[in-house]
Amino acid sequence: LIVIPAVIDPHVHLRTPGAEHKENWETGAQAAISGGITTVFDMPNNNPAVVDEKTFYNKKQIIDEQLKKINIPLNYYLYIGATGDNEEEIIKLKDSVIGIKLFMGASTGDLLVADRTKQEKIFQLAAELDLVLALHAEDETEIQKQKVNFINPSISDHSKIRSREAAIQAVKDAIEMAQKYNTRIYICHVSTHEELDLIRTAKKTGIKVYAEATPHHLFLSENNYKYLGTLGQMNPPLRTTADQEAMWQAISDGTIDTIGTDHAPHTLGEKVKNYPDSPSGVPGMETVLPLLLNAYHENKISLEKIVELTKTNIEKIFNLTPNHDWTIIDLDLEKEVKNTDLKTKCGWSPFAGQKLRGWPIAVVI
């Protein structure tokens, strides 16, 4: 067995409070550690959304109770959501949050700031407070524009409705505003080669832009709708195999800084509804490391790079004091992803049935 620094997952939705039939911190923490993850950053699109002191401390209290019950000292940090008029609350919480989350396009939950003037204010505030601004970068206007063209859409239209142009436009806008206000922006779940080109160029000009890749955008493409159906539905959607290749290229040239799972569980019953009634999101914490270690065996990525993307780069971007948690891995263990083995409450994975080589065995927190 070998030991690597424990994985930090900078992007999860553990559903507390408001959607605990999908996940809570008892099942979520168990899923995290079975995935080799000992630190998570949780997103604010809860019910109620985490947008002020009250909702922030309430969420924290429930999380602590749940973690205590299972006796897992999972490290966690919380985002605060931007609403466009909660500046005062963000200021009050500036030392308690890992960053500000801004939805430029609507996704699960009701957090959305589509108005440019309001967006600019948030970019400015994040810069003033020296907080990372994490972006769900899909342009709402573009999405709405496409939506009307699809009368009776099916799952494969998801990638057209939430078009690549929507993602590209939002990233363009974001880079422009980051440059104007000197904001440190963290672009969640980059999915297209055009976004990567924009980010690559922006980095060269000294703009503080960081990019995250999800396992599903690295290991799945639009072609997988055929067998996944709405289990392959997430925002932003799966893209082409050319985009997938560009993602791997961007990992090797340093355009992509981190891997975040965007672990976004929904129950199977919810997921198998007919599109577009099916919710967007897939779980990912338990499969991210096996997928990466399997890719290592396929000579797609080095172990050093895996550690950068899942630990050291994240600590640098978010100014974390490096922790000394470890994950023990069996590089040669070959095992199929089985829904019945999963700890996540949702009980399914878009990678079920895949045989992967390289699995976490234990963590030390």
- Number of shown-chain residues binding ligand DOR (CB under 6 A): 10
The one catalytic residue in 42, 173, 257, 262 is 262
**Is position 358 an interface residue for ligand DOR (rule: CB under 6 A)?**
no
Binding residue for ligand DOR, selected from 39, 108, 169, 261, defined by CB under 6 A: 108
Helix (H, G, I), strand (E, B) or coil at 329: strand
- Closest CB to ligand DOR among residues 196, 264: 264
Strands 7-12 and 2-5: unpaired
Could you tell me which residues are beta bridge partners of residue 185?
133, 209
Q: Which does 192 bind (CB under 5 to 8 A by kind): ligand DOR, Zn ion, none?
A: none
Task: Kindly list the distances between the CA atom of residue 4 and the CA atoms of 77, 289, 363, in Å, as whole numbers in the listed order.
Answer: 22, 11, 10
Q: Taking CB under 6 A as the rule, which mask of x and - marks residues 111-150 in contact with ligand DOR? A: -------------------------x--------------
Q: Distance between CA atoms of 289 and 282, rounded to whole angstroms?
A: 16
Helix (H, G, I), strand (E, B) or coil at 3: strand
Of the candidates 220, 129, 135, 230, the one whose C-alpha atom is nearest the C-alpha of residue 176 is 135
Q: Residue 324 class from Cβ within 10 Å (0-12 exposed, 13-18 middle, 19+ buried)?
A: exposed
Residues of this chain, 257-276, that bind Zn ion according to CB under 5 A: 262
- Identify the H or E element spanning 296: helix 288-297
Say whether 173 is catalytic. Answer: no
- Whose structure tokens read 């400015």? 124
Least distance in angstroms from the C-beta of 201 to Zn ion: 23
**Is position 264 an interface residue for ligand DOR (rule: CB under 6 A)?**
yes
Residues of this chain, 133-192, that bind Zn ion according to CB under 5 A: 136, 188
Least distance in angstroms from the C-beta of 260 to ligand DOR: 11
Q: Distance between CA atoms of 214 and 221, rounded to whole angstroms?
A: 12
Binding residues (CB under 6 A) for ligand DOR: these are: 13, 45, 107-108, 136, 234-235, 264, 280-281
Binding site for Zn ion (CB under 5 A): 136, 188, 262
Which residues are known catalytic residues?
Answer: 262
